[in-house]
Chain A
Amino acid sequence: MDQPGRPITVLIAAMGGEGGGVLTAWLVEAATAAGLVVQSTSIPGVAQRTGATTYYVEIVPEPVAAGAPQPVLALYPTPGQVDLMVASELLEAGRAIRNGYVTPDRTTLVAATHRIYSIAEKSAMGDGRLDDGRIREAAGTMARQAVMADFAAAARESGSALNAVLLGAMAGSGRLPIPEDAFAGAIRAAGKAVDANLAGFARGAAVARGEWAGQQAEEMPAGPHPVPIFEDNLTALLEAVRDVAREALPRLVAYQDRAYAKLYLDRVESLRAVDAATAAETARHLALWMCYEDVIRVAYLKIHPDRAARIRREVRAKDHEPVHVSEFLKPGLEEVAAILPPALARPLLGWAEKNGRLDRWRFGMEVRTDRVSGFLKLWLLARLKPLRRKSHRYALEQSAIEVWLDAVRQGAAVDRRLAEEIVACARLLKGYGETHRRGHDNFGRIQDALIAPAIAGIIPPAEAADRIAGARNAALADPSADALARELEKAPPPALAAQ
Chain B
Amino acid sequence: MERSFKKEVASLRLGEGDVFHGEGILAVTKALLQSGVSYVGGYQGSPISHLLDVLVDAQDILDELGIHLETCTTEAAAAAMLGASINYPLRGAATWKSVVGTNVASDALSNLSSAGVKGGAMIVIGEDYAEGASIIQERSHAFAMKSQMWLLDPRPDLAHIVDTVEKGFQLSEASNTPVMLELRIRACHLHGRFVCKDNRQPLFSRNHVLERPDFDYSRICLPPATYAQEKHKIEHRLPAALKFIAEQGLNEVFDGEREDVGIIVQGGLYNTAVRALAELGFADFYGRSQIPIYVMNVAYPILPDEVSAFCAGKKAVLVVEEGNPDYIEQAVNVALRRADLQTAVIGKAVLPMAGEYTGAVMLDGIARFLDTTGTDRAAPSRSAETLSGKAKAAAILGTELPTRPPSFCTGCPERPVFSAIKILEKEMGPSHIAADIGCHTFSTLPPFNLGNTVLGYGLGLASAAGVAPAMGKRVISVMGDGGFWHNGLTSGVAGNLFNKDDSILLVMNNGYASATGWQFLPSSRAHRRGPATGMSIERAVRGLGAPWLRKVRTYNVATMVKTLRAAMTTPVKGLKVIVADGECQLARQRRIRPQIAAKVKAGERVVRQRFGVDEDVCTGDHSCIRLSGCPSLTVKPTTDPLRRDPVAHVNNDCVGCGLCGEVSHAAALCPSFFRADIVQNPTWLDKRLHAVRKAVIGKLLGQVSA
Cross-chain contact A50 with B678 (CB below 8 angstroms): no
* Binary contact readout B115-150 vs A (1 if CB under 8 angstroms, 0 otherwise): 000000000000000011010000000000000000
Report the Cα distance A329→B360, complex, angstroms.
Answer: 55
Cross-chain contact B697 with A375 (CB below 8 angstroms): yes
- With A302-B671, A372-B697, A432-B671 as contacts: A322 and B689 at CB distance below 8 Å: yes
Q: Which residue from B192, B284, B617, B633 sits with its C-beta under 8 Å from A293?
A: B617
Cross-chain contact A305 with B619 (CB below 8 angstroms): no
Residue A47 CB within 8 A of the other chain: yes
Contacts of A101 in B (CB 8 A): 389
Q: Which residue from A6, A126, A382 sits with its C-beta under 8 Å from B704?
A: A382
Contacts of B359 in A (CB 8 A): 74, 76-79, 81
Report the Cα distance A141→B395, complex, angstroms.
Answer: 11
Cross-chain contact B397 with A97 (CB below 8 angstroms): yes
* Binary contact readout A296-323 vs B (1 if CB under 8 angstroms, 0 otherwise): 0010011111010001001111101111
Contacts of B279 in A (CB 8 A): 78, 81
Cross-chain contact B625 with A43 (CB below 8 angstroms): no
> Shortest beta-carbon distance, A81 to chain B, in Å?
7
Residue A211 CB within 8 A of the other chain: no
Cross-chain contact A51 with B189 (CB below 8 angstroms): no
Cross-chain contact A41 with B635 (CB below 8 angstroms): no
Residue B620 CB within 8 A of the other chain: yes
Contacts of B390 in A (CB 8 A): 79, 98-100
Cross-chain contact A48 with B406 (CB below 8 angstroms): yes
Report the Cα distance A23→B459, complex, angstroms.
Answer: 39
Cross-chain contact A320 with B682 (CB below 8 angstroms): yes
Q: Which residue from A97, A129, A304 sits with its C-beta under 8 Å from B393?
A: A97
Partner-contacting stretch, out of B81-89, B514-522, B572-580? B514-522
Cross-chain contact B515 with A75 (CB below 8 angstroms): no
Interface residues in B550-605 by Cβ distance below 8 A to A read: 558, 586
Residue A359 CB within 8 A of the other chain: yes
Residue B705 CB within 8 A of the other chain: yes
Interface residues in B503-524 by Cβ distance below 8 A to A read: 514-518
Report the Cα distance A49→B404, complex, angstroms.
Answer: 12
Q: Which residue of A lies closest to B691 (CB)?
A: A322
Q: Which residue of A lies closest to B514 (CB)?
A: A47
> Shortest beta-carbon distance, B101 to chain A, in Å?
16
> Shortest beta-carbon distance, A341 to chain B, in Å?
23
- With A75-B186, A91-B401, A316-B652 as contacts: A48 and B623 at CB distance below 8 Å: no
Q: Which residue of A lies closest to B699 (CB)?
A: A372
Residue A325 CB within 8 A of the other chain: yes
Residue A350 CB within 8 A of the other chain: no
* Binary contact readout A323-339 vs B (1 if CB under 8 angstroms, 0 otherwise): 11111111010000000
Contacts of B271 in A (CB 8 A): 72-75
> Shortest beta-carbon distance, B706 to chain A, in Å?
12
Interface size band for A? 35 or more
Contacts of A25 in B (CB 8 A): 191
> Shortest beta-carbon distance, B281 to chain A, in Å?
9
Contacts of B156 in A (CB 8 A): 75
Interface residues in B389-442 by Cβ distance below 8 A to A read: 389-394, 396-398, 401-410, 412, 426, 439, 442
Max chain A C-beta neighbours (<10 A), residue from B285, B445, B645: B285
> Shortest beta-carbon distance, A248 to chain B, in Å?
7
Q: Which residue of A lies closest to B619 (CB)?
A: A430
Cross-chain contact A298 with B643 (CB below 8 angstroms): no
Cross-chain contact B705 with A322 (CB below 8 angstroms): no
* Binary contact readout B683-701 vs A (1 if CB under 8 angstroms, 0 otherwise): 0001101100100110011
Contacts of A317 in B (CB 8 A): 676, 678
Q: Which residue from A121, A304, A325 sits with its C-beta under 8 Å from B674?
A: A325
Interface residues in A85-100 by Cβ distance below 8 A to B read: 91-92, 94-95, 97-100
Contacts of B673 in A (CB 8 A): 327-328
Cross-chain contact B285 with A4 (CB below 8 angstroms): yes
> Shortest beta-carbon distance, A357 to chain B, in Å?
13
Cross-chain contact B396 with A122 (CB below 8 angstroms): no
Contacts of B670 in A (CB 8 A): 431-433, 435
- With A79-B387, A120-B446, A134-B397 as contacts: A328 and B682 at CB distance below 8 Å: no
Cross-chain contact B405 with A76 (CB below 8 angstroms): no
Cross-chain contact B518 with A48 (CB below 8 angstroms): no
Report the Cα distance A129→B189, complex, angstroms.
Answer: 34
Report the Cα distance A123→B288, complex, angstroms.
Answer: 53
- With A41-B191, A75-B190, A248-B642 as contacts: A370 and B406 at CB distance below 8 Å: no
Report the Cα distance A94→B400, complex, angstroms.
Answer: 10
Contacts of A15 in B (CB 8 A): 404
> Shortest beta-carbon distance, B668 to chain A, in Å?
5
Cross-chain contact A126 with B21 (CB below 8 angstroms): no
- With A48-B439, A97-B397, A433-B669 as contacts: A321 and B682 at CB distance below 8 Å: yes
Cross-chain contact B669 with A435 (CB below 8 angstroms): yes
Interface size band for B? 35 or more
Cross-chain contact A79 with B389 (CB below 8 angstroms): yes
Q: Which residue from B274, B405, B629, B679 sits with its C-beta under 8 Å from A72?
A: B274
Partner-contacting stretch, out of A111-119, A195-203, A406-414, A466-474? A111-119
Residue A416 CB within 8 A of the other chain: no
Contacts of A28 in B (CB 8 A): 191
Cross-chain contact B665 with A49 (CB below 8 angstroms): no
* Binary contact readout B143-183 vs A (1 if CB under 8 angstroms, 0 otherwise): 00000000000001100000000000000000000000000
Cross-chain contact B631 with A123 (CB below 8 angstroms): no
Cross-chain contact B406 with A50 (CB below 8 angstroms): yes
Report the Cα distance A124→B447, complex, angstroms.
Answer: 10
Cross-chain contact A129 with B409 (CB below 8 angstroms): no
Report the Cα distance A60→B285, complex, angstroms.
Answer: 10
Residue A273 CB within 8 A of the other chain: no
Report the Cα distance A51→B445, complex, angstroms.
Answer: 12
> Shortest beta-carbon distance, B99 to chain A, in Å?
18
Contacts of B388 in A (CB 8 A): 80, 100
Contacts of B644 in A (CB 8 A): 127, 427
Cross-chain contact B676 with A315 (CB below 8 angstroms): yes
Report the Cα distance A134→B400, complex, angstroms.
Answer: 12
Q: Which residue of B lies closest to A364 (CB)?
A: B665
Interface residues in A17-39 by Cβ distance below 8 A to B read: 17, 24-25, 28, 32, 39
Residue A108 CB within 8 A of the other chain: no
Residue B231 CB within 8 A of the other chain: no
Report the Cα distance A119→B670, complex, angstroms.
Answer: 20
Cross-chain contact B621 with A42 (CB below 8 angstroms): no
> Shortest beta-carbon distance, A43 to chain B, in Å?
4
* Binary contact readout B272-290 vs A (1 if CB under 8 angstroms, 0 otherwise): 1011101100001111100
Residue B626 CB within 8 A of the other chain: yes
Report the Cα distance A321→B600, complex, angstroms.
Answer: 12
Report the Cα distance A70→B287, complex, angstroms.
Answer: 8
Q: Which residue from A4, A52, A127, A320 sits with its C-beta under 8 Å from B286?
A: A4
Report the Cα distance A28→B192, complex, angstroms.
Answer: 9
Residue B249 CB within 8 A of the other chain: no
> Shortest beta-carbon distance, B3 to chain A, in Å?
10
Cross-chain contact A126 with B620 (CB below 8 angstroms): yes
- With A40-B191, A41-B186, A120-B402 as contacts: A7 and B639 at CB distance below 8 Å: no
Residue B187 CB within 8 A of the other chain: yes
> Shortest beta-carbon distance, A137 to chain B, in Å?
6
Contacts of A134 in B (CB 8 A): 396-398
Cross-chain contact B619 with A431 (CB below 8 angstroms): yes
Contacts of B270 in A (CB 8 A): 72
Cross-chain contact A6 with B285 (CB below 8 angstroms): yes
Interface residues in B356-388 by Cβ distance below 8 A to A read: 358-360, 362-363, 385-388
Residue A44 CB within 8 A of the other chain: yes
Give 16 A-B contacts (CB < 8 Å), ordered by A residue: A45-B406, A46-B406, A47-B514, A76-B186, A78-B360, A79-B390, A80-B385, A81-B279, A98-B401, A118-B402, A119-B629, A303-B701, A326-B661, A431-B619, A432-B668, A434-B668
Task: Beyond the given A50-B406, A293-B619, please list 18 additional residue pairs across the A-B interface where CB-CB is below 8 A.
Answer: A4-B285, A43-B131, A48-B515, A73-B271, A75-B271, A76-B186, A76-B358, A81-B386, A102-B389, A130-B402, A134-B396, A288-B643, A305-B705, A324-B677, A326-B675, A370-B693, A434-B426, A435-B623
